[in-house]
Amino acid sequence: MFNRDRWNEILEALNANRFRTFLTAFGVFWGIFILVLLLALTNGLKNGVQADFGNFATNSIFMWSQGTSMPYKGLPKGRYFNFKLSDVQALKDNIPELKYVSPRNQLGGFRGSNNVTRNEKTGAFDIYGDYPEFINQQPLDIMEGRFLSYSDIEAKRKIAVIGQDVIRSLYDKGEEVIGSYIKINGINFLVVGTFKNANSQGDNEQEANTIYVPFTTFSQAFNRADNVGWMAITAHDDVSITSVKPRIMTMMRELRTVHPDDKRAIGHFDLAEEFAKITGLFNILTVVGYFVGALVLLSGVIGISNIMLIVVKERTKEIGVRRALGASPWNIRSQVLQESLVLTIISGMIGISFASGIIWIMNTILDSVGPVENFANPSVGIGVIIIALSILIISGLLAGLIPATRATQMKPVDALRIE
């Protein structure tokens, strides 16, 4: 269909009125340019916001105990209770959809008092008792040494993994950190690892002020018995944690002798739900991007259709001559269609390239000025480009369809009579 002669025919025809060809092409160029740019900006916004979640296992909930709000089985309302380690095991045993169930305990907190000392230096830090799998739920970059292990849990070793800010407060520059001891609430812990938060933004500072110790060590050293402060629960990737949540809650109420309807007794934060809300928002934004872009593109396509109609009208006589010389209606129709297609695709490709250029410049600027709040790496995938190209091809054909039909509607004898 597209041999060299066809190309010559098309290029000659488009060349015959260059300025008009250019103006027509500009409509489509502009449409696809806006479409790609809008999608890239949406993507940039999405990347920026999602970076705040870091590599966090988003299919997770956090669950803690609050006071009961209903009396149950002779127990009064307003009773405070704790989860127990046995609850963790019960969850793991009975709900196979769960990937990780990490019990956690905490010491210190926001603006807590000084609780850690090393030689003559002191500081106030968050101290967490954790299980090794917690690093899979909230990823940390281990800078030196290692994270907690199951042998630490079993042996109740007094070891600690400390954040960058802890090092800054308690150590001199260049001092060896691994193998040194720090005193948490008067108890010595051996430092076996240091970490940096993998998160880009947000609660960086708080995270860097954190010390992780083995859960069992924590319980024994700080008198928590088998109590669990809160749990971080992650479901397997193919199961939504939100759908498993009711079963977890029911089970916990039963085990902790809480009224089955007492919603207030167990507090939780559903990260998956929050994440889904934001993802949903961006899906809507993407749809809006497509919609607006497609509408701008549509006006460009109508422009092409319009010009092709004029071209066909102007060339009525030429078309008549061609038919007298033996051009079949299909010859004529396909030429008009191909002219419109070539015009659309070429201008569309230029639009896509141009938009890519702008995106590249944006990225270069972003790289040079450092991270910007809620905006990162605006880009479009190859999938979007393929979609854009197919929209172009379809619209090119649509734009040519009416003019092409118009071109062959007139009888050759009438077409030849036009002056």
Partner 1 sequence: MIAIKDLHKSYHMGNNSLHVLKGINFEANEGEMIAIMGSSGSGKSTFLNILGMLDEADLGSYHLDNVPIKNLNEKVAARYRNQFLGFIFQSFNLITYKSALDNVSMPLYYQGVKRSVRTEKAMHYLEKVGLADWATHLPSELSGGQKQRVAIARALASDPKVLLADEPTGALDTKTSYEVMELIQGINDEGKTILVVTHEEDIAHMCKRIVHLKDGKILDDKTVEQVRAKTPAHV
Interface with partner 1 (CB under 8 A): 4-5, 12-13, 15-16, 317-318, 321-331, 408, 411-413, 416, 419
Rounded to a whole number of angstroms, the minimum distance from the CB of residue 385 to partner 1 is 34
In whole angstroms, how far apart are CA 295 and each of 32, 289, 395? 10, 10, 12
Rounded to a whole number of angstroms, the minimum distance from the CB of residue 307 to partner 1 is 17
C-alpha dihedral sign at 332, 335, 341, 347: negative
Rounded to a whole number of angstroms, the minimum distance from the CB of residue 383 to partner 1 is 40
In whole angstroms, how far apart are CA 120 and each of 114, 117, 200, 354? 13, 7, 33, 61
b vs e for 95-124, b when ≥16 Cβ sit within 10 Å of the residue's Cβ? beebbbbbbbbbbbeeeeeebbebeeeebe
Beta carbon nearer to partner 1, 287 or 324: 324
Beta carbon nearer to partner 1, 12 or 373: 12
Beta carbon nearer to partner 1, 23 or 413: 413
Rounded to a whole number of angstroms, the minimum distance from the CB of residue 322 to partner 1 is 7
Beta carbon nearer to partner 1, 209 or 340: 340
Beta carbon nearer to partner 1, 139 or 412: 412
Rounded to a whole number of angstroms, the minimum distance from the CB of residue 370 to partner 1 is 55
Tell me the H-state helices in 59-203. Answer: 85-94, 134-137, 150-155, 164-170
| Kind plus residue range of the DSSP H or E element containing 104 | strand 98-107
Beta carbon nearer to partner 1, 24 or 58: 24
CA distance 268 to 234: 13
First to last CA, the chain: 32
| Cα–Cα nearest to 407, from 330, 325, 344, 304 | 330
Rounded to a whole number of angstroms, the minimum distance from the CB of residue 378 to partner 1 is 43
